[in-house]
Amino acid sequence: MKEDSYSIARKNGITVIAYSPLATGLENIRSADPEGILRRVAEASCKSEVQVALNWCISKENVIAIPKASTAAHVIENMGASGWKLQPEHARCLKIEFDVAVVGLSRAPHGGQSAGACK
Ligand SMILES: NC(=O)c1ccc[n+]([C@@H]2O[C@H](COP(=O)([O-])OP(=O)(O)OC[C@H]3O[C@@H](n4cnc5c(N)ncnc54)[C@H](OP(=O)(O)O)[C@@H]3O)[C@@H](O)[C@H]2O)c1
């Protein structure tokens, strides 16, 4: 999803469904995150990487996420993505590292900002 599409949806109160909110698999998120920001935020938050990824997704205004899960264990883990909030500095680190406001497949142009401070 393009950033301006999300802005338009948000401005008009349109709910957005995050298609493939886990990028079709955690390995795809990890490969878009060579600095391991998601893992570090997960460790600091005492949550799993998937829970952080989904929580970050649904923390955005008017965004819902429907992850696919094949096992009860994954469904239960994914349910743990709601009911809590990321620390603002952790949300900022994720935004710097990933594209757009929703969990994405591509890396953001860092625009001079560095995710290094998230170590
Ligand atoms: N929004 C729409 O318009 C729309 C349209 C069509 C379909 N869908 C549905 O949206 C869902 C999106 O699925 P997707 O496959 O595209 O992408 P996804 O939800 O981003 O990723 C699914 C992958 O994540 C894995 N996963 C799920 N929970 C996990 C966990 N807790 N730990 C580790 N891995 C986990 C799944 O593994 P396991 O399978 O092993 O659990 C699967 O490999 C599908 O159900 C799809 O049918 C949505």
Q: Nearest C-alpha to atom 19 of ligand 1 is from which residue?
A: 67
Residue 110 falls inside a structural domain: no
Mutate to test the pocket of ligand 1, among 1, 22, 51 (most ligand atoms within 8 A of CB): 22
- Interval 23-48: pLDDT, tens: 999 999 999 898 899 999 999 999 99
- Model confidence at 112, pLDDT cuts 50, 70, 90, reads very low
Residues in the chain: 119
Atom of ligand 1 nearest to the CA of 49: 32
Domain count, the chain: 1
Give the CATH number for residue 94. Answer: 3.20.20.100
Residue 112 falls inside a structural domain: no
- Interval 47-64: pLDDT, tens: 999 999 999 999 988 999
Distance 111 CA to ligand 1 centre (A): 31
Residue 109 falls inside a structural domain: no
> What tokens appear for 11 in the block?
């401005």
Atom of ligand 1 nearest to the CA of 21: 20
> What tokens appear for 106 in the block?
């591509």
Atom of ligand 1 nearest to the CA of 22: 20
**Count of other CB atoms within 10 angstroms of residue 24:** 13
Which residue range forms the structural domain that includes residue 68?
3-104
